[in-house]
Amino acid sequence: MCQNTISNTTSKDSQAFLDPEKKSNRINVDEENPEQRVSWANGAIEDVPVTETAFGNPETAEVKFITMHWWQVGVHMIAETISLGVLSLPHVLKTLGLFWGLFCILSFGMLATYNGYVYGQFFRANKAIASVADAANVVGGRYAKEFVGACSTIVLIFIMAAHISTFSMAMNVLTDHGTCTTVFAIVGVILSILCTIPRKLSNMAWFSVASCISIGAAVFITMIGIAVSDKPADLHIEVFATPGFLDAMTAILNLILAYAGHVAYFSFIAELKRPEDFTKSLVMTQSFTTFFYIMTSVVIYCFAGDHVMAPALGSAPPLIEKIAYGVAMPTIIIAGVINGHVAVKYVWLRIWEHNRNEVTKNSFKAIGSWIGIVVLIWIAAWLIAEGIPSFQLLLALVSALFMGWFSYGFSGIFWWNINWSSWRSSKRKICLAVLNSTIIVIGALICIIGLYATAKNLANGAGGSSFSCGDNSTPDAQGH
């Protein structure tokens, strides 16, 4: 067994990452028993007891982070993945047609499930990681870690900013633009900061349960409202639509991003008591998500037809829109908070990288640094949401640039990292090698095509204004 493996890592270097430059340090993992590592050098299988984690030694920790059950991880994943963006999916069916729209929902759902499974396998082979940046360190070394860490943090902060913008829009709907939109955004930031204070994800599990109930109720109310509202005489449903290339790619990108929660998966697994239970969490998340997406998009599209708007709340009567936004308030806040927690924890652990035992204490330094990072990151998200004209278009550009890699391309790279020495050992492994190579190509294509589609939309988009008091809930709003 190589001397740099996790089992021989000292508390002074609790990251326990393999040196990607040394061939003798690379390992293969048995997919059935990922804790059994296969040395690149001699092929011998050895059990590797991991005494160090991303949070130091769990046996001596004052604050024990690794306390979550699989269902808690599952609700966090659902809350992080599903928000009001689900109400844009009926428009995807309008663009692609009922058949191809449903085909894409199912196909990308299955692919996202497999990719999540690979994330779980990779973690079980490298239990000292707590973020996608840490995983990049295992694969590509320090520079890869810093680059991927910066990219993932940017994506998460933009997602947080999107929730701040959505909160201000919901408040404008509920109050009939009762005050300046920037004031509503500040209120949303304050609530988000307070909800992000807990350091342990297990202490936030009931937040995510509330978020799941909230989005389910809001979507159900929207479906009923659209179903009972007056229908236009020329309502039409397309089974096989013929969209233009840009429209089709934009619709597919929206659908892909609906499954793009993988950027936070390692952060969730790192606090799971039994990492082997992550498969249960994944099945729980993806089965619920896929069913929810199909039900929502089909019901709303069949009742609204080609008059469906994106988001679908625009197709509901005004009173129903207000009720749905009110019920959705918990998920608007909490889904942003979960993403915020992941961003904060990455920065926090990065700061204490050389003294991981400090993060497991209830010391002033540990708690004070956490709260300070929470405040700074949420202020950054608010500045982006309020200060950048055409923020929503820029959010689409950032998502297209990175999310295809986090949810698709990287999983193929992770698979190759843990199976490099054995991919020709059986027909099954060869087939998986082809599949994961294809997944890497898909991640690259999502990035390239997504950039093209969003760049075209940016070129045609309105400029907007910074820190606007205007009503951002109306179609002709001048803000965001």
DSSP for 198-261, written as a single string: -S-GGGGHHHHHHHHHHHHHHHHHHHHHHHHSPPPTT----SS----HHHHHHHHHHHHHHT--
Please give the single-letter amino acid code of residue 220.
Answer: F
Q: pLDDT at position 316, please?
A: 80
Q: How far is CA 139 from the centre of its chain?
A: 21
Residue 451: strand, helix, or coil: helix
- Partner residues linked to 36 by β-bridges: 47
Q: pLDDT at position 464, please?
A: 60
Q: Is residue 473 part of a domain?
A: no
Q: Which residue has the tokens 């007056």?
A: 230
Q: Is residue 6 part of a domain?
A: no
Q: Is residue 413 part of a domain?
A: yes
Q: pLDDT at position 123, please?
A: 95
Q: pLDDT at position 389, please?
A: 65
Q: Is residue 48 part of a domain?
A: no
d(CA 165, CA 392): 9
Q: Is residue 144 part of a domain?
A: yes
Q: Is residue 54 part of a domain?
A: no
Q: Are 96 and 251 in contact (CB under 8 A)?
A: yes
What token pair was written down for 471?
């009503």
Phi, psi angles (nearest 5°) of residue 289: -60, -45
Q: pLDDT at position 59, please?
A: 77
Q: Is residue 40 part of a domain?
A: no
Q: Which residues of the chain have pLDDT under 70?
A: 1-52, 389-392, 461-465, 475-480
Q: Containing domain of residue 189, as a range?
A: 65-460
Q: How many domains does the chain have?
A: 1
Q: Is residue 470 part of a domain?
A: no
What token pair was written down for 259?
């499954």
CATH classification of the domain holding 80: 1.10.4160.10
Q: pLDDT at position 37, please?
A: 42
Among 364, 382, 384, smallest CA distance to 372 is for: 364
